[in-house]
Amino acid sequence: MKPAPFIHHRPRTIEEAVRILAEVAPDDGRVLAGGQSLVPIMAFRMARPPHLVDINEIEGLDRLVVQDDRLHIGACVRHAAFGKGAIEGPTGDFLAKVMRKIAHHPIRTRGTFCGSLAHADPASEWCAVAAVLDAVLVARSHEGTREIRARDFFEAVMTTALRADEILVEAQLPLLPAGTRTGFCEFSRRAGDFAIAMVLVAWRIENDCIVEARFGIGGAEAFPRRLTDVEACLNGARPEQSTWDEAAEMAAAALDPLEDAVTSGDYRRDLVRSLSRQAFEQACA
């Protein structure tokens, strides 16, 4: 199918973009980034925005830099920008590992990191990364700029704290310290499909014990989150099978799973238990 008619705005500056968005947002005008979620939805006529504010020609929104111990990811940075070696250190390794699981190559060359966050599909890998790394999200409107913590950003399935007249201009990820080991495991029915559940873990080992553990889940609940009880269980523990078993049980028990016609809550709970063990082993390898 083809989308319903719309007016395509192509602002050259962020000031122009937020001014236009302020005018068209009350009529369901939307931001267009990579178009890899919005355009299919429009083609199915599940959305009929009469105005699209295309941000792709705004200079500087493709900025991907490390500054002040944070990775700054501009609104037009594509998934594919996070390939192996693109960003140094454990944060870069972690993002490269995650990126390989997002959709297929053509989608990764157009879809954006910030677009994924704004879209807030429960199964989005970048949303889970933002939650587990405590991202800071920078929103800009005609009224000014505000920062939103990831834990306050995701509110429900495909619902965020972003207002209709705001553009997510940048996501900032705190850098993982040197020596951090990471694990990322997800399950989807076919390669490239949206995941039914995913687990993300990061920690350092000091004196044979786990320290600074981060543990998060995505795809299994309405929106991704860190599980701080699981992190407390991991911190100070030895990296061994009994620790994995205890922490994986805790994660499964804490889940408030999504259910749909083909995937029960119990199935997602089992997946989280099993993916947790795999992610722990990966982070130790």
Kindly tell me which of 163 and 238 has the beta carbon lying closer to ligand FAD: 163
- Residue 31 makes contact with ligand FAD by CB under 6 A: yes
CB of 21 to ligand FAD, least distance (A): 9
- Residue 34 makes contact with ligand FAD by CB under 6 A: yes
Q: Pick from 91, 124, 172, 180: which binds ligand FAD (CB under 6 A)?
A: 124
Letters for 151-190 (x = contact with ligand FAD by CB under 6 A, - = none) are: -----------x----xx----------------------
Kindly tell me which of 87 and 118 has the beta carbon lying closer to ligand FAD: 118
Between the alpha carbon of residue 190 and those of residues 16, 187, 193, the distances in Å are: 42, 9, 6
Phi-psi sector, 192: left (phi>0), alpha (psi -120 to 50), beta: left
- Residue 89 makes contact with ligand FAD by CB under 6 A: no
Measured distance CA(72)–CA(170) in Å, rounded: 7
- Residue 271 makes contact with ligand FAD by CB under 6 A: no
Letters for 192-231 (x = contact with ligand FAD by CB under 6 A, - = none) are: --x-------------------------------------
Kindly tell me which of 129 and 237 has the beta carbon lying closer to ligand FAD: 129
Q: Which of 17, 130, 14, 34 lies closest to 73, judged by CA?
A: 130
- Residue 141 makes contact with ligand FAD by CB under 6 A: no
Our CA dihedral for 84, 90, 95, 96, rounded to 10 degrees, sits at 20
- Provide the binding-site residues for ligand FAD, judged by CB under 6 A: 30-38, 40, 75, 102-103, 107, 111-112, 114-116, 118-119, 121, 124-126, 162, 167-168, 194
